[in-house]
Amino acid sequence: MGDKLFDSEAKVMEILWDHGALPAKEISRIAADTIGWNKNTTYTVIKKLEAKGYLRRDEPGFRCTALLSRDEARKAEANTLLRKVFGGSRKALFSALLDDEQISDEERDELRRLIDGR
């Protein structure tokens, strides 16, 4: 693992993260209902995810299981953003996130707990 998770791939992973392991046919049905994709598009994305090692397909039923967790994907995306846009500076990232936003006392306290817990 380590390859970038593209938007289309993230959509299939979201289905798996939300519903757990599913047959490809069911993933295709959900993708058709929620995204408007056809079966071929969904199956192509599933094959790409399998090649990257982000999901596993098992028989019977072409059952797909996520091998990448939502948290792992979030951390990878956050680290990419941190490096690309903020030169690795967490201070610059947090400053940009908080610059124009009002946060509640609860959010501020939670952020302090997260930082203090490091």
Q: Per-domain residue ranges for the chain?
A: 7-66, 70-116
pLDDT at res. 100: 76
- Predicted confidence at residue 43, as pLDDT, reads 97
Contact 27, 12 (CB under 8 A): yes
Q: What is the pLDDT of residue 111?
A: 86
Q: Which CATH number among 3.30.450.30, 1.10.10.10, 3.40.50.300, 1.10.3720.10 corresponds to the domain 7-66?
A: 1.10.10.10
Question: Using one digit for the tens of pLDDT, what is the confidence trace for 55-109?
Answer: 999 998 899 999 999 999 999 999 999 999 999 998 898 888 888 778 888 988 9
Could you tell me what percent of the chain has a pLDDT over 70?
98
Q: Look up the pTM and report it.
A: 0.81
Q: What is the DSSP letter of 63?
A: E
Q: What is the distance of C-alpha 112 from the center of its chain?
A: 25
